[in-house]
Amino acid sequence: MTPLAIIGAGGWGTALAVTEARAQRRVRLWVHDSELASEMRRKRENAIYLPGVQIPNTVQISNTMRDVVDGAEVVILAVPSHFYRSVTMQVLPLVSKETVFVSATKGIENDTLQRMSEVVEEIAAPSSARVAVLSGPTFAPEVSRGEPAALVIASPDETVRLRLQTDLSTPRFRLYTNADRTGVELCGAAKNTIAIAAGVADGLGLGSNATAALVTRGLAEITRLVTACGGRRETLYGLAGLGDLVLTAYGNLSRNRQVGLELGHGRSIEEIIAGTRAIAEGIRTTKSIVQLAQRLGIEMPIAEKMYSVLHEGLRPQEALADLMERKLKEE
């Protein structure tokens, strides 16, 4: 069996490594920080990003990219969106044209407004890269403990998605296939923005009614974005859409929800970022979401207000008041 390469040892990358290793698969895990890599090899634990979870001895942990990707037929990219391009540029020269990439990052690149699969394809040009997307309602700690989870593996190439479904599924890590890579990626990115808004509402003590309204209208915003980009409306009602949105907006393990809660409690975004090493993708991705919506000429008022709160200093109370006072309209 050829090794599975996982690039990125945050909570999600580590959880994937643990999950696949328990299924008796050969796993190699690339860790950006050499000191963290040494500590993980010694303690068999990622004490920073996934504390308390034992990493099987069969997981090869390395800070050297070549050692991790050499001979791997499948490479999972699980690094933050703002590092995604630079890391992918390190990986591509070291793998063959037959390598299949799986993007496990939920974000949209700032400035270029490219989805993660588009970043890989652009770097790989003029040769073609086979890129799938792994997404769905999952928290890394729960997955790493072997608690049941269902996700989506999305690719326009049926052969690729069926192969990955078989190769990566386990009895408690169930993968469904989806041809709509665009929709799956955009859902995974945009739901983080709505989860921040839901957290803000809870942090302000506005009650369950307000949070439910924000999440529901947020789903409408994501739907407009997905369909404007050529994605399928049906994707919104599946695991990568509604499933992931509900988990991220309401789950206590959601980093994006926690950011919103802290904002609602009166903390500044600078204080929140300084207080944790974990990355809430929604902070950066909200900027891309709003710019993409403007480019496409679609309305995303919740996303726009969250951008103003995160990046322009708008008070959370004012943001939600502005949303409630918008012109009355048909749903």
Residue extents of the structural domains in the chain:
4-179, 183-324
Same CATH fold assignment for domains 4-179 and 183-324: no
Radius of gyration of the chain (CA): 19
Does residue 219 sit in helix, strand or coil? helix
- Please give the C-alpha separations between residue 20 and each of 16, 23, 29, 204, 243, in angstroms, as whole numbers: 6, 5, 11, 40, 23
DSSP state, residue 198: H
Q: What is the mean pLDDT of residues 117-130?
A: 88
Mean pLDDT of the chain: 95
Burial 3-30 (b: 16+ CB within 10 A, else e): bbbbbbbbbbbbbbbbbbbbeebbbbbb
Phi, psi dihedrals of residue 241, rounded to the nearest 5°: -100, -95
Distance of CA 236 to the CA centre of its chain: 16
Q: For residues 322 and 304, give the distance between their C-alpha atoms in angstroms, rounded to a whole number.
A: 11
pLDDT digits (tens, 9 = 90+) for 251-282: 999 999 999 999 999 999 999 999 888 788 99
Q: What is the mean pLDDT of residues 161-179?
A: 97
Residues in Cβ contact with 124 at an 8 Å cutoff, skipping those fewer than 6 apart: 92
Residue 126 confidence (pLDDT) above 80: no
The pLDDT of residue 330? 78
Fill in the amino acid letter for 96: S
Q: For residues 107 and 292, give the distance between their C-alpha atoms in angstroms, rounded to a whole number.
A: 13
* Dihedral angle sign, alpha carbons of residues 118, 124, 129, 134: negative
Residue 2 confidence (pLDDT) above 90: no
Fill in the amino acid letter for 10: G
Residue 146 confidence (pLDDT) above 80: yes
The pLDDT of residue 325? 84
Residue 222 confidence (pLDDT) above 90: yes
Residue 5 in contact with residue 72, Cβ under 8 Å?
A: yes
Q: For residues 37 and 63, give the distance between their C-alpha atoms in angstroms, rounded to a whole number.
A: 6
Q: For residues 76 and 271, give the distance between their C-alpha atoms in angstroms, rounded to a whole number.
A: 32
CATH class of the domain defined by 4-179: alpha beta
* Dihedral angle sign, alpha carbons of residues 15, 20, 24, 27: negative
Does residue 187 sit in helix, strand or coil? helix
CATH class of the domain defined by 183-324: mainly alpha
Q: For residues 280 and 200, give the distance between their C-alpha atoms in angstroms, rounded to a whole number.
A: 14
| Per-residue tokens: 103 | 């993007």
* Dihedral angle sign, alpha carbons of residues 191, 192, 197, 203: positive
The confidence band for 310, taking pLDDT boundaries of 50, 70 and 90, is very high
Q: For residues 57 and 94, give the distance between their C-alpha atoms in angstroms, rounded to a whole number.
A: 25
Q: What is the mean pLDDT of residues 206-221?
A: 96
The pLDDT of residue 324? 86
Fill in the amino acid letter for 272: I
Residue 128 confidence (pLDDT) above 80: no
Helices 81-91 and 116-124: angle between axes, nearest 10 degrees: 30
Phi, psi dihedrals of residue 264, rounded to the nearest 5°: -65, -30
The pLDDT of residue 203? 96
pLDDT digits (tens, 9 = 90+) for 52-100: 999 999 999 999 999 999 999 999 999 999 999 999 999 999 999 899 9
The pLDDT of residue 282? 93
| Per-residue tokens: 239 | 């695991």
pLDDT digits (tens, 9 = 90+) for 35-56: 999 999 999 999 999 999 999 9
Residue 1 confidence (pLDDT) above 70: no
| Per-residue tokens: 119 | 């970043």
Q: What is the mean pLDDT of residues 296-305?
A: 97
| Per-residue tokens: 293 | 């919506």
Closest residue by Cα to residue 132 from 86, 188, 82: 188
**pLDDT above 70: percentage of residues in the chain:** 99
Q: Where is average pLDDT lowest: 111-115, 151-155, 234-238, 319-323?
A: 319-323
Does this model's pTM top 0.85? yes
Residue 298 confidence (pLDDT) above 90: yes
Write out the catalytic residue numbers.
191
